[in-house]
Chains A and B, each alone.
Chain A
Amino acid sequence: MNKKKLAFLILWLLLFFLCAYFLYNSYTLLIEYRDRRQGIIQLVCGLCLVISILSVAYLSEKPLSSWKEKAMIVFSDLCLFESILVFFGRYQDTGVLLLIIITAFIVSVLVSFLIIRHFNKADKI
């Protein structure tokens, strides 16, 4: 196993555990402590990561050719950034949280655009 694959595997595992952490904490906060706001925020973070993980898993089996796959990259990135930024902004006011979500959306579209362009170049070569 080369270094690149090992790094990818560690990153992949981290993503899993982070997702699991969000989902379990959301359950605890909603059911046991009845903090609806924090519970929902963590649930959103967890579900975003689930979508992101499943999208990447799906894309890894397919060639990046059709617009559907390209859209999925955008969607996957979007979920990943949403999840991370919402988690860091979880104690902010609702207005700030909305701003964070919009920022995550713009950043994810830009990052996805760069990824797709990178793959397109690679295909042409």
Chain B
Amino acid sequence: MKRVGLALICLMFAIFAIGVTEEVMWRSFNFMEIVGYQIKTTKSNLSEISEKWFYEYFNQLRGVHVPYDYRIQKAELDRIEVLDEQSVQVNGTIYTSSRNLSVIDNLNLIQSSERYEYDFEIVLVWQNEGHMWEITDAMSPVQYQIQHSVFQDAPKIPYVMKDTDWAYAIQDSNLYVTYDHGETFKEVPNGYEQVCWDAIHSETDEYLDDESYIITPEFTAFIGRNSLAVKLIYSLDQGETWQESNICSSNYKGKAYLSKTDHYCYLTMALDHLMGDDYYGTYRSADFETWESVSMNEAFDENISCVFWLSDEIGYFANANVLYRTTNHGGDYEAVTLPPATSTIEDIGYDPFDLVVEMYQDHDVIYAIASQKEGDYKKDGQLARGLYLSYDGIHFEFVQEI
């Protein structure tokens, strides 16, 4: 047993000696950074120089003198691609000696599916003085692509907000219009700040209410706002030139309805908010310079749900399911009540359509679409709406659910 004891003592001594030696070697290991690495060569081909660098650089990381947070088993060069006069992309596979987070971080490795096997991708920027080549910058291929023109010159395509030929689009806080289903775009100068006021100040989305803008080849208009006034931003030449017209001073940002008739542009908008109700005012202009106020009836000047101008003189204001019709641009109003939705009442026992939300004219027939205030009657998972029509603009009849 004497020799066994002696062997154990020798073993302890050997462990101590190895521990001290390895720690000294590992602590004195000097890792060469990629940036600043120099290669002396008579070659001038970036590809060959980078290959020489690859093997030199990774060979210094092999052996017992290298700590495990840098140590590799071997390095294989996969691909070298010259990107420009100074830059080269180097792709390789690195087999590390151990699996730890430090080695991945220190050598900028990319995890692969294999154990101890990592991808290495880097773009080197070389500079030479005579036969001495030095790496002045190193970056990932993605960083290189971002820095260089590949992406910078790519055309930015604004996101069209509606799938129609004539629509508005928003890109990088700029407002555009398109008249060809997104093929080409025209920018509305200072449009985003003034038109998308809600999106900027209330962090809501950038969708505009359908009633608050008009986009047609003949006339395009948005309602613009700043902290003091409401204005019309419009174009009469398909977005080539834009004008602004001040309408009124109001700092309340409520709902707005924009309409265009043969000679007039009508704007109805919420001017004030009191006790939970919006109070509306209507203006019209023929030349977009002077705006005249259109009188409204007290019966419907709050919480308007739809405005529709059929002609210069005839207009409708909807308040709940009652339409207020004028034939002399606000001189007088007569109330037009939508009839009961008989077939729906037969089905469910009551008339759910109590809020007119849309009106339009098609082949001399006026249509009205009524939705629901409470919104509890659904069909096929969608909120049901009622369609009504009128041939004389006064008497409406229920057509069907839509």
Contacts and interface: CB of A to CB of B under 8 A. Distances in A.
B305 to A, nearest CB: 66
Contact of A91 (B68, B95, B100): B95
A50 interface: yes
Interface stretch (A54-62, A74-82, A98-106, A107-115): A54-62
Contact of A24 (B10, B18, B99): B18
Contacts of A87: none
Contact of B68 (A16, A21, A33, A54): A33
* SS class, residues of chain A in contact with chain B: helix
B15 A24 contact: yes
B102 interface: yes
A23 B15 contact: yes
Interface string B1-26: 11110111011001101110010000
Nearest to A29: B98
A33 B97 CA distance: 11
B116 interface: yes
Interface string A41-73: 000000000100110011011000000000000
Contacts of A58: 1, 3-4
A20 B11 contact: yes
A113 to B, nearest CB: 25
B100 A57 contact: no
B4 A35 contact: no
A28 interface: yes
Contacts of B4: 54, 57-58, 61
B174 interface: no
A35 B18 CA distance: 20
A24 B69 CA distance: 16
B68 A35 contact: yes
B293 interface: no
B10 A16 contact: yes
A23 B13 CA distance: 12
B102 A33 contact: yes
* SS class, residues of chain B in contact with chain A: helix
Contact of A38 (B11, B18, B99): B99
Interface in B16-42: 17-19, 22
A57 B14 contact: no
Contacts, number: 66
B2 A38 contact: no
A61 B102 CA distance: 48
Given A20-B14, A91-B73, A35 B98 contact: yes
Nearest to B8: A54
Contacts of B102: 33
Nearest to A21: B18
Nearest to B74: A91
A58 B8 CA distance: 11
Nearest to A58: B4
A117 interface: no
A53 to B, nearest CB: 5
B91 to A, nearest CB: 22
Nearest to B12: A20
Contacts of B18: 17, 20-21, 24
Nearest to B114: A93
Contacts of B98: 29, 33, 35, 38
Interface string A1-35: 00000000000000011011101110011001111
A28 B64 CA distance: 13
Which of A37, A58, A61, A91 has the largest count of B CB atoms less than 10 A from its CB? A91
A81 to B, nearest CB: 19
A47 to B, nearest CB: 11
A33 B3 CA distance: 36
B17 A61 contact: no
A34 B100 contact: yes
A24 B18 CA distance: 7
Contacts of A61: 1-4
B61 to A, nearest CB: 15
B76 to A, nearest CB: 14
Contacts of B22: 21, 24-25, 28
Nearest to A17: B14
24 contacts: A17-B18, A20-B11, A20-B15, A20-B17, A20-B18, A21-B18, A21-B64, A24-B19, A28-B68, A29-B68, A29-B98, A33-B98, A33-B102, A35-B68, A37-B99, A37-B115, A38-B97, A50-B11, A54-B8, A57-B3, A58-B4, A61-B1, A61-B3, A91-B73
Given A20-B19, A24-B22, A57-B6, 4 more contacts: A16-B11, A24-B15, A33-B102, A38-B99
Interface of A: 16-17, 19-21, 23-25, 28-29, 32-35, 37-38, 50, 53-54, 57-58, 60-61, 91, 93
| 6 nearest CB pairs, A to B | A20-B14, A57-B7, A35-B98, A33-B100, A20-B18, A20-B15
